[in-house]
Structure 1
Amino acid sequence: MPHKEGSLEAPTRSALDWRTDAFYDQAAIDRELARVFDLCAGCRRCVSLCGAFPTLFDLVDETDSFEAHDIDKRAYSKVVDQCYLCDLCYMTKCPYVPPHAWGVDFPHLMLRAKAAKYKRGEVALRDKVLSNTDALGRLAGIPVVTQTINAIHRTKTMRGAVESALGVDKEAWLPEFAPRKFRRAAKRSPELPVRDGELTPGKVAIYATCYVNFNEPGIGHDLLALLAHNDIPYVLVASEACCGMPLLEQGDLDGVAAKKDENIPVLAHYAREGYALMAAIPSCVLMYKHELPLMFPEDEDVRAVSAAFWDPFEYFVSRHRDALLKTDFKQALGKVSYHVPCHGRVQNLGRKTFEALSLIPGTEVKVVERCSGHAGTFGVKKEFHRTAMKIGEPVFKAMAEGEPAFIASDCQLAGHHIEQGIDESGLAKAALAHPLTLLRKAYGI
């Protein structure tokens, strides 16, 4: 599609040409950074989104000319490091994205710069450790290791040592590891009732995700209980590895490709067997629905998986519209402050979680649509944690307003970050619960 100046069309995106040498050419990257930074400095609409734009504008204002092209190229990395690839500037703010003639794709340019840096080996040990969720999960599967890691998380002295050694902020919330993995304990799909000679339509294949499998398996058990209650047959996919999103955020594109080679053949089998693929973590859904197709546009299996992948509440609302979702709720939830995570917003799903929770009688759902600041591993790093808390301040206040009974986010990492921000700000506390947990609670199952 040709670029159009002043187009009112939805943003379009080109595939990532990441397997060419030109993609990693630092001189070419610097030229594109200079061009895009000039455009951003003249617009400044994205100043409130994250730390990347204020950092850029400060660099511009420190030049003698007040022009972005006069920034010392050695300072470009300060902007790149502040970007955590939430995509909100591209999807919600920037007026110059394709098909506009200027063709600005700020997040993918930041990804290209991160990838070149990673290719040169300029990456901290901490970043490699935090992004290797499979290795961390396997290590934590050893009971004594799990107990030790969790004890370290709870001990200020040990957290200080971890901060010194790895640069993980001692004040940042960190997830504990569950004593029993979700995939080991998951219940099998129950025998389903027959209606007019046929099973209720629809079947689901669950991709557990690293976080649900290793850290909070209760979210996965809640999802299975909801599927069973609604007579939806399910299976857990036969095997799985990390989706690759933590690696993508570091610029490790070869690592992403390796995870894709592990996961896609397995998931494509279920997609072609007519299963709806589902994961309870928005970042994982985003990876399969959007990011991998941009990295592997020619791969038919990737396209099949993308087409079959669903967010849980997207799926439940779709069934409700077909009169297939039960509404036999037994418990009101009262006031719920619900946060829409960035990786949910950029999928253009709409407010599906809000729609589902609003079906519950005696439940008032307030929606907060703004970045919490956590952004995966970004919010736990020593050099960025306070920035992450500052970005989240408006969210903390909005979520606590009105003294809700519950606060919730589809991204449980964001939920914990918000909970910490509310606590540190001295705002009225509310119970943190994943939206799937809340829906299960309302059903009374």
Structure 2
Amino acid sequence: MTSASDDRREGSLQAPKRHALDWRNPEFYEEPALMTELERVFDICHGCRRCVSLCNAFPTLFDLVDNSSTMEVDGVNKNDYWQVVDHCYLCDLCFMTKCPYVPPHEWNVDFPHLMLRAKAVKLQKGAVKTRDKILTSTDRIGKLAGIPVVVQIVNTANKSGTFRKFLDKVLGVHPDALLPVYHSKTLRKRNKRLSNRNNNSAVPAGRTKGKAVLFSTCYGNYNEPQIGEDLIAVYEHNDIPVRIVEKEQCCGMPKLELGDLETVARAKEANIPILAKLVSEGWDIVAPVPSCVLMFKQEIPLMFPDDPDVVKVKQAIYDPFEYLMLRNAEGLFKKDFVKELGTIAYHVPCHQRVQNIGPKTREILNLVPGTEIETIERCSGHDGTYAVKREFHEISMKIARPVVNRVTQTGPDHYSSDCPMAGHQIENGLKNGKKPEHPISLLRLAYGI
């Protein structure tokens, strides 16, 4: 017979468990109840402080506590809680790698989803800046900025010091933040021939069906289409037929980080039926940006746990290198490399780490002869929009500094991150003119294709 304390100890040793997000419940948006829960969780975090090095949310909280009249959470003005919320960009690392009090522990701490609730309340209060709404409208920006002629003006203006000062003053976009390049010839336009592909020559292996549909993502479509083209080339070299999702919207991650759950729901209604249909037709799904994979693997399923199509997509979507390693386990990954890669400083993005798939990118790149990997498991501080905002840019670069220092100390032939935005954050810290290279692009280079 076990005691209640034994049960609690046993529960704390179990794998972290995520509860579904009760975002349709009106109580989810009640500010007094939110403040009560924030105080409870902040008090637990104050007594622990294991997460102080992860991001700026925790140092902000601990500074508020230490500078309060009581030096406890009860001495902090509740209006200052929003400062902590604003610094959380939902990387999920505290939940997945640090916090000892996550469910099934009785204290039931899910810091990222509590911050998500707070962001949703803030949005409903009308306290979110217009700038933040614009920056998270990635589809709309991509379509507008990608118009021929317009795209040249946008890309040129984003490199102009005068325009960047204007953008800082009017919109609050920091003049030193690197902004993405836009393309009129997007990934989907370049590979339109693949949108209706229906290949029956795929070779299944393990969980994989052997043919993959590419969810191009906003960033992969409008900003760095070459990454998607490199993925297609690598997969086809490995006899994996690839097609492009014929119609897609943003996965919803930017709006999730804003707390705009209704817009996330609309994106889900646009994407899930199309993706689920492709899964039913025997296709696996891959996406070149870890945040988008995580969205379909975790966040949308937690918002819609009872939707069978959401579950179907969740079970069929893969990180690109996770997929290749599953093929490698069955002897179906080709190793006919023609070029050594030398030393690679490889940054592991937060949204890939929290997928709990292991270091699949590193494992694949290690198969290339003459290649040495220096793995960096630390947040880059970018978060899509956090690093470009006037009030957060310098803090984001401070968070990135240990990553940048590791790259500098390694002196690599290449530096790389599965998250292209994290790669450019490192570039911004290096300031040496050397560009990041996506791991899938390095793999294509090794193949010489």
TM-score by length of 2: 0.94
CA distance in 2, matches of 1:203, 1:142: 32
* One-letter code aligned to 2:437: A
1:95 matched to 2:103: no
1:172 matched to 2:180: no
CA distance in 2, matches of 1:175, 1:141: 12
CA distance in 2, matches of 1:64, 1:402: 46
1:411 matched to 2:416: no
1:436 matched to 2:444: no
CA distance in 2, matches of 1:435, 1:312: 10
Question: 2:291 — aligned with what?
Answer: 283
Number of aligned pairs? 436
Equivalent position SS for 1:14? coil
Identity %: 54
Contact 2:288 2:320 in 1 (8 A): yes
1:40 matched to 2:45: yes
TM superposition shift of 1:431: 4.4
1:115 matched to 2:123: no
Equivalent position SS for 1:420? helix
Question: 1:299 — aligned with what?
Answer: 307
TM superposition shift of 1:250: 0.3
Q: Deviations over 1:160-208 (max 9, x none)?
A: 0001111010100110101311101027469x9x9xx965331111111
Question: 1:5 — aligned with what?
Answer: 8
Contact 1:337 1:400 in 2 (8 A): no
2:203 aligned to which of 200, 204, 212 = 200
Question: 2:28 — aligned with what?
Answer: 23
Question: 1:347 — aligned with what?
Answer: 355
Q: What are the within-5 Å matches in structure 2 for residues 187-226 of structure 1? A: 188=193, 199-201=202-204, 202-226=210-234
Question: 1:380 — aligned with what?
Answer: 388
Equivalent position SS for 2:8? coil
Q: Deviations over 1:214-249 (max 9, x none)?
A: 001000100110111111111111200000000000
Equivalent position SS for 2:246? coil
Question: 1:400 — aligned with what?
Answer: 408
CA distance in 1, matches of 2:194, 2:69: 67
Question: 1:104 — aligned with what?
Answer: 109
CA distance in 1, matches of 2:416, 2:448: 18
Unaligned runs of 5+ in 1: none
Equivalent position SS for 1:99? coil
CA distance in 1, matches of 2:334, 2:290: 24
1:317 aligned to which of 322, 325, 329 = 325
CA distance in 2, matches of 1:30, 1:402: 45
1:66 aligned to which of 68, 71, 74 = 71
Q: What are the within-5 Å matches in structure 2 for residues 120-269 of structure 1? A: 120-186=125-191, 188=193, 199-201=202-204, 202-269=210-277
Contact 1:60 1:67 in 2 (8 A): yes
CA distance in 1, matches of 2:202, 2:347: 35
CA distance in 1, matches of 2:68, 2:127: 27
1:370 aligned to which of 375, 378, 385 = 378
Contact 2:192 2:244 in 1 (8 A): no
* One-letter code aligned to 1:165: V
Decide whether aligned partners of structure 1 residues 349 and 199 sit closer, same or farther in structure 2, where only a CA change above 3 A counts. Answer: closer
TM superposition shift of 1:70: 2.0
Equivalent position SS for 1:55? helix
Q: Deviations over 1:85-119 (max 9, x none)?
A: 00000100111111111111111000000001111
TM superposition shift of 1:148: 1.2
Contact 1:84 1:378 in 2 (8 A): yes
* One-letter code aligned to 1:141: G
Decide whether aligned partners of structure 1 residues 136 and 215 sit closer, same or farther in structure 2, where only a CA change above 3 A counts. Answer: same
2:83 aligned to which of 78, 89, 101 = 78
Contact 1:400 1:430 in 2 (8 A): no
CA distance in 1, matches of 2:52, 2:297: 28
CA distance in 2, matches of 1:154, 1:142: 18
Contact 1:283 1:344 in 2 (8 A): yes
CA distance in 2, matches of 1:5, 1:168: 47
1:272 aligned to which of 280, 289, 297 = 280
1:421 matched to 2:429: yes
Contact 1:278 1:311 in 2 (8 A): yes
* One-letter code aligned to 2:322: E
* One-letter code aligned to 1:5: R
Contact 1:187 1:224 in 2 (8 A): no
CA distance in 2, matches of 1:316, 1:430: 28
Q: Deviations over 1:101-146 (max 9, x none)?
A: 1111111000000001111221111101110011111112311211
Decide whether aligned partners of structure 1 residues 119 and 361 sit closer, same or farther in structure 2, where only a CA change above 3 A counts. Answer: same
Contact 1:372 1:391 in 2 (8 A): yes
CA distance in 1, matches of 2:255, 2:409: 36
Equivalent position SS for 1:205? strand
TM-score by length of 1: 0.95
Contact 1:241 1:263 in 2 (8 A): yes
CA distance in 2, matches of 1:311, 1:199: 19
* One-letter code aligned to 1:200: V
